[in-house]
Amino acid sequence: MIYTVLLVDDEPYVIEDLKKIIDWHKLNYKIIGEANDVESAMVEIRKNTPNLIISDIRLIGKSGLEMMKLLKKQYMTIPVIFISAYEEFEYAREAISLGAVDYLLKPVEREKLEAALTRIKPILERNAYENENSGSKLVNQIVRNVSENIKGKHLLSDYAEKYNVSPNYLGQIFIKQKGINFSSYVSRVKIEYAKKLMKETDKSLEDIGTEVGYSDYFYFRKVFKKVAGISPTAYRNNCKINDEK
């Protein structure tokens, strides 16, 4: 498995040095983002949900320790390796108390970084397993929500905010669990229910569209044809013909 890494430091040359100091791919790691402050780091985290963060403690504005506190509230399973040029015990002690998995001094030595990355792999493996399980539970909960509220407007971004995960992460685990992207899944559920209503009731197509969350009939017709491969009118007519046989 390849583990993704976010690098955070307010000195660009430090990030460049970290990129070059070791063969990341050989150790089964991939750098997928970089940031110079906590705000931009949190944007990257929400967008890409890295497996590991390597961050300086001293940053412009909020410190790396403050970022760690935010992570504890929102992304409990993302380990952090702190790096710092300040050899004070208080920094290391607070970093570890917040859940940092390691603490390296600048300038970072290749051997020590490699050792740290090797040492934390069991943690990353456990997190991957736990995330898989929690992701499955989360997708199942969302699927239930969609089924129980067919008329509702279901947006991936809303569910990501509700369950405090990144939209990108939620979209990925949904596809992995269901084999289809979220918006397509919602459309499919709505149209399957609309087909059921067409078979079992005499409600107008406009009313059926509204009942499954499409107040604009022409948009409902467009989605129906895309999902079912046939227009609502043609589908209902086919149902009537089959009933008469």
DSSP 181-200: -HHHHHHHHHHHHHHHHHHH
Q: Which residues of 33-50 are buried (b: 16+ CB within 10 A; e: fewer)?
A: bbbbbbeebbebbbebbb
CB distance 197 to 211 below 8 Å: yes
Residue 19 belongs to a domain: yes
Report d(CA 15, CA 13) in Å as an integer: 5
Q: Please list the residues that pair with 56 across neighbouring strands.
A: 83
Q: Is the dihedral of CA 168, 169, 173, 176 positive or negative?
A: positive
Residue 131 belongs to a domain: no
Q: Which residues contact 30 (CB under 8 A, 6 or more apart)?
A: 2, 3, 4, 5, 24
Residues 157 and 58 in one domain: no
| Domain that residue 69 falls in | 3-119
Here the CATH number for the domain that contains residue 92 is 3.40.50.2300
| CA end-to-end distance (rounded Å), the chain | 56
Residues 11 and 111 in one domain: yes
Neighbours of 52 (CB within 10 A): 23
- Confidence (pLDDT) at 244: 59
Report d(CA 103, CA 110) in Å as an integer: 14
Report d(CA 178, CA 184) in Å as an integer: 11
Which tokens go with 71? 């992570």
Q: Which 3 state secondary structure label does DSSP give 6?
A: strand
Helices (H), 49-82: 64-74
Residue 57 belongs to a domain: yes
Residue 124 belongs to a domain: no
Q: Which 3 state secondary structure label does DSSP give 73?
A: helix
The single residue listed with the structure tokens 């993302």 is 78
CB distance 67 to 38 below 8 Å: yes
Residue 238: phi and psi, rounded to 5, are: -60, -40
Q: Which residues contact 198 (CB under 8 A, 6 or more apart)?
A: 205, 208, 232, 235, 236, 239
Q: Which residues of 94-122 are buried (b: 16+ CB within 10 A; e: fewer)?
A: bbeebebbbbbebebeeeebeebbeebee
Q: pTM value?
A: 0.75
- Confidence (pLDDT) at 157: 93
- Confidence (pLDDT) at 96: 79
| End residue of a domain, out of 64, 92, 119 | 119
Mean pLDDT by 10-residue block, N- to C-terminus, for the chain (245 residues)? Answer: 95 94 96 95 88 91 88 76 76 78 90 95 91 90 96 94 84 93 97 95 96 96 96 92 65
Residues 104 and 168 in one domain: no
Residues 111 and 144 in one domain: no
Here the CATH number for the domain that contains residue 169 is 1.10.10.60
Q: 96 vs 21, 79, 100, CA distance in Å?
A: 24, 11, 5
Residue 133 belongs to a domain: no
Number of structural domains, the chain? 2
